[in-house]
Amino acid sequence: MSENPFENPLIVQSDRTILLDVHSPHADAAREQLARFSELVKSPEHVHTYRLTPLSVWNACAAGMAADEMADALTNFAKYPPPEFILSDIRDLADRYGCVILEQDGNSLKLSVRDLPTAELLSRDKNVSPWLEKRTEPLSFRISPAHRGVLKQALVEAGYPADDRAGFTDGEAISISLARTARSGGDAFSVRDYQQDALEAFYQSGSNLGGSGVICLPCGAGKTIVGISAIARLKQTALILTTNLTSVKQWHRELLDKTDISDEMIAEYTGEHKNIGPITLSTYQILTWRHNRDSDFPHFSLFHARSWGLIIYDEVHLLPAPVFRITAELQARRRLGMTATLIREDGREEDVFALIGPKRYDVPWRVLEAGGWIADAVCTEIRVPMSESLRMEYALAPRRSQFRIAAENLGKLETAREIVAAHPDARVLIIGEYLSQLNSIAKALSYPLINGKTPPKKREELYGQFRDGQIRHLILSRVGNFALDLPDADVLIQVSGIFGSRQEEAQRLGRILRPKKDGHQARFYTLVSQHTREEEYARNRQLFLTEQGYSYELNFS
């Protein structure tokens, strides 16, 4: 902070957004405070935007930050006095977080409320009251342990999130430690500082306040290492849930490489195998499979197959809705969610907060990029013209068909060929939405294609060849959006996609963000048909990427 307020970096606005001038000499200090109690909305070159929300304030309270600290941070770093009602909102929201406490009480749980008016309010709330078994005292209620999760959901909806201090049930003990040197060879293995900070924020010295929550790290920043470190710290059985079989294999390799555990201790519960071990890896797809819409989910039995000490939800922003239901029943188990973004397309961020836990740690992409932990990336959009015949087909087509016609523009093939030729030494991924388009590109360029129908064994074989340098080009369908361990990929060409999806854009960019051994920039190309609806969606993508601080170029083919 400065004696001259106009040198301060913050402008606090009445719409609950906060602008940060990154060129202020006090920007870093202000950013460090803001990140604790507000959500980063966008971070282009000069001014970053944060937003205050109930969840952001409650996340800060869960991490031990007091309301006065939040208010002081805004006041002390602001160019102009913050609106008084904003400071009042912060204090009110923070006060609500500590108002309701959930604790163990023998074989039951006890919900304690700070004051009688709030106790009366909650006892009459239509969503909260069904889970309050008995009012044992004027300010406390008996709660069934089975209702711990659904009660927490209802309390968040009512605006009084529970401070859950009921603790956790230990799982079966296992022997596991981090390896001093990765078994794959090379330099000594060590957990990076920010990964260690994330682990400590989650674990909180093993207290009842730790053991549940979400870690937010960019793609390529090593979220898997945080998860493995958590297992090594707890030394208890673990169930790891991932997005697909490729991710299962990646976790399996990393566990063997970065710990002293034996292969016999790791089991895979997937469409290929239904094995259960001290550390079990599974996918959301197999867990949510059922015979028909009216059937139960038979594989939910996995959650109760062992006394798990930790459940890890990889890519928690993709957690399917049915898994929320079973997670509500697992509140006595330690739970770690990991993601690059808490943005959910279904808007269920509150359920992640209530059932997985508060956000415990977050760091922006650009901060890790500046430290050399993820690659610098340049994003380029190339507008590709359509042939006259295709333009006529597009003009005559129903609106619902126009996007696909534009997306499959054959002119994109030649543009992709030119990009590949311009990067002769690069490891290139070509990714798209439509299989007919990808098949045509694969045939024309003679590159292997991986899609949802590619057998798992063949997928792993091709991924391995790419990692080993035997092949330098791969074409991927949407299976390439998530959990690919291809650290040397440095050029990605997006020929089609759900261009309105911020989630997809973040995941695809993440495929090339691992730091490059030669220090080269990562290049992210998106091909868009000129004068079509693709351009409309491209604006969403451009805005998202520039808001994250990435340089964005627009070229014409």
- pLDDT per residue as tens digits for the range 39-76: 877 777 788 899 999 999 998 888 778 999 999 999 99
pLDDT exceeds 80 at position 514? no
* DSSP labels, 373-399: SS--EEEEEEEEPPPHHHHHHHHHS-H
Percent of the chain with pLDDT strictly greater than 70: 90
As a whole number of angstroms, the distance between CA 142 and CA 21 comes to 49
Please state, rounded to an integer, the average pLDDT across all residues of the chain: 88
Which numeric CATH code is attached to 373-556?
A: 3.40.50.300
Q: Which residue has the higher pLDDT, 307 or 377?
A: 307
Residue-level pLDDT at 524: 87
Residue-level pLDDT at 543: 65
pLDDT exceeds 90 at position 10? yes
- Could you read off the pLDDT of 397-450 as tens digits, one per residue? 999 899 999 999 999 999 999 999 999 989 899 999 899 999 999 999 999 999
Q: Mean pLDDT over residues 24-29, rounded?
A: 88
Q: At what angle do helices 388-396 and 399-407 cross, to 10 degrees?
A: 160
Residue-level pLDDT at 513: 66
As a whole number of angstroms, the distance between CA 530 and CA 554 comes to 12
Residue-level pLDDT at 370: 76
Q: Please report which confidence band the pLDDT of residue 537 belongs to, taking 50, 70 and 90 as the band edges.
A: confident
- Tell me the sheet residues that pair with 141: 111, 135
Looking at 384-388, 393-397, 499-503, which range is the least confident one? 499-503
Considering 28-32, 172-176, 454-458, the range whose residues carry the highest mean pLDDT is 172-176
Q: Mean pLDDT over residues 464-470, rounded?
A: 89
Q: Are 41 and 76 in contact (CB under 8 A)?
A: no
Q: Mean pLDDT over residues 8-37, rounded?
A: 91
Domains 193-363 and 373-556 share a fold: yes
DSSP three-state, residue 219: coil
Percent of the chain with pLDDT strictly greater than 90: 56
Residue 71 phi, psi dihedral angles, 5° rounding:
-65, -40
* DSSP labels, 319-342: --HHHHHHHTT-TTSEEEEEES--
Return the domain boundaries, the chain: 5-96, 98-164, 193-363, 373-556
Amino acid at 108: S
Give the CATH fold of the 193-363 domain.
Rossmann fold (3.40.50)
The shares of helix, strand and coil residues in the chain, as percent rounded to the nearest 5, are: 40, 20, 35
Residue-level pLDDT at 295: 86
Residue-level pLDDT at 186: 54
Q: Are 186 and 307 in contact (CB under 8 A)?
A: no
The contacts of residue 416 (CB under 8 Å, 6+ apart) are: 430, 441, 445, 493, 495, 527
Q: Are 508 and 492 in contact (CB under 8 A)?
A: yes
